[in-house]
């Protein structure tokens, strides 16, 4: 019985505690069944919030992203679990931020429209200022960063061009739901062999992969925009380099799946459409059924169609 219970929680789909734009949690029920079975090494090449990486069964998983704030946070979660949680509570106390899981919502006299933002605003700005002044990227730095994310607008993570965290206070705090999410995520990271890496995808060493490896690529989308696409963005050249990286994987007998959109809001990704067409004998385009109208970075216009696809080589 015990074994069965453990097995069930091993496979429960869990959500990232980072509310990551472009996160694939909602798409998991559609994409996971399309992934290969018996994966030895799984690579989440553009892991973002790691919604995919932590939900794929494999012997070993590599979470890769050029944004090292993400992967360092994950490694803090994995290596310092409970201690990290206590550190967050300590920061909440030090800055006097709201703590609804302890005192309830009534205590803060907030209304449902503005949430906790009016109460937390000044305290949040003080924490943000201290964080932005910090020069050593130690354990405390990442605890401060995660606390900022918890109390920031939409739980997002965003830095300006000077590298300063620049989001305003949000409506919520480290409530029970968020705590639960973080605890499950930490337990998942502790449960098996996760490795963290910060390579640009072009630098990712594929020589250590083999025919039982599987690479999932969820890059910034060329024809939609997101926070991580603001500075510098994702260019045609990036798109072309990624497609030739995927060709390399194929030529080395390594399975891959690419998430993307072919068309969105009257735009189309010609580079991707042509690549898929030219390789129709090797790669398969699977249309997913996903309504992005609830998502952060897509239009609310119900008439605009977003063609979300998964392109696979197996
Ligand atoms: C669409 S998001 C991934 C979302 C993720 N699948 C999830 O469910 O949370 C794309 C990610 O690609 C990362 N990225 C952008 N350029 C990159 C590059 N050249 N190499 C590796 N990662 C990159 C961004 O930092 C961002 O986190």
> Ligand 1 atom 2: the closest Cα is on which residue?
48
| pLDDT given at position 290 | 63
Q: Does domain 2-67+198-312 have CATH number 3.40.50.300?
A: no
| pLDDT given at position 28 | 96
Q: Could you write out the DSSP letters of every residue in 97-145?
A: ---HHHHTTGGGT--TTTTTHHHHHHHHHHHHHHHHH--S--HHHHHHH
Q: Per-residue pLDDT tens for 273-301? A: 999 999 999 999 999 986 644 444 444 45
Alpha-helix runs per DSSP H in 154-254:
176-191, 236-251
Low-confidence spans in the chain with pLDDT less than 50: 1-8, 292-300, 302-303
Question: Max CA-CA distance within the chain?
Answer: 63
Q: Output the ligand 1 site: residues, CB below 6 A.
A: 16, 20, 22-24, 46-49, 51-52, 65-67, 200-201, 218-220, 228
| pLDDT given at position 265 | 80
Number of Cα atoms under 13 Å in the Cβ half of residue 10: 11
Q: Which atom of ligand 1 is nearest to the CA of 242?
A: 19
CA of residue 56 to ligand 1 center, whole Å: 17
| pLDDT given at position 266 | 83
| pLDDT given at position 299 | 47
Residue spans of the domains in the chain: they are 2-67+198-312, 71-181
Ligand 1 pocket test, pick from 220, 229, 238, 292 with the greatest ligand atom count within 8 Å of Cβ, gives 220
Q: Does domain 71-181 have CATH number 3.40.630.30?
A: no
- Considering the entire predicted model, what is its pTM? 0.90
Q: Per-residue pLDDT tens for 177-217? A: 999 999 999 999 999 999 999 999 999 999 999 999 999 99
Which runs of E-coded beta strand occur in the chain? 39-44, 58-64, 194-197, 214-217, 255-261, 263-264, 267-268, 284-287, 308-312
């Amino acid at each position: 019985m015990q074994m069965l219970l453990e097995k069930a929680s091993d496979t429960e789909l869990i959500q990232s505690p980072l509310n990551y734009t472009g996160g694939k949690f909602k798409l998991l029920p559609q994409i996971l069944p399309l992934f290969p079975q018996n994966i030895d090494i799984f690579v989440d090449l553009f892991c973002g919030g790691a919604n995919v990486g932590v939900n794929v069964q494999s012997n070993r998983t590599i979470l890769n992203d050029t944004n090292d704030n993400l992967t360092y946070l994950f490694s803090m979660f994995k290596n310092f679990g409970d201690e990290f949680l206590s550190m967050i509570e300590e920061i909440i106390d030090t800055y006097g931020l709201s703590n609804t899981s302890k005192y309830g919502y009534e205590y803060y006299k907030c209304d449902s429209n503005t949430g906790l933002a009016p109460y937390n605003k000044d305290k949040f700005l003080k924490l943000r200022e201290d964080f932005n002044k910090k020069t050593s990227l130690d354990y405390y730095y990442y605890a401060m960063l995660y606390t900022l994310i918890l109390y920031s607008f939409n739980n997002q993570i965003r830095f300006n061009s000077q590298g300063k965290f620049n989001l305003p206070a949000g409506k919520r705090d480290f409530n029970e739901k968020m705590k639960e999410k973080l605890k499950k995520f930490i337990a998942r990271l502790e449960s098996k062999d996760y490795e963290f890496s910060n390579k640009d995808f072009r630098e990712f060493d594929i020589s250590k992969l083999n025919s039982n490896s599987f690479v999932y690529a969820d890059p910034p989308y060329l024809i939609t925009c997101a926070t991580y696409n603001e500075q510098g963005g994702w260019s045609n050249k990036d798109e072309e380099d990624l497609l030739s990286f995927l060709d390399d994987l194929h030529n080395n007998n390594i399975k891959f799946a690419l998430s993307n959109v072919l068309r969105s809001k009257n735009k189309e990704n010609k580079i991707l459409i042509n690549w898929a067409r030219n390789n129709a004998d090797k790669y398969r385009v699977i249309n997913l059924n996903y309504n992005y109208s609830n998502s952060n970075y897509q239009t609310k216009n119900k008439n605009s169609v977003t063609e979300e696809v998964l392109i696979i080589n197996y």
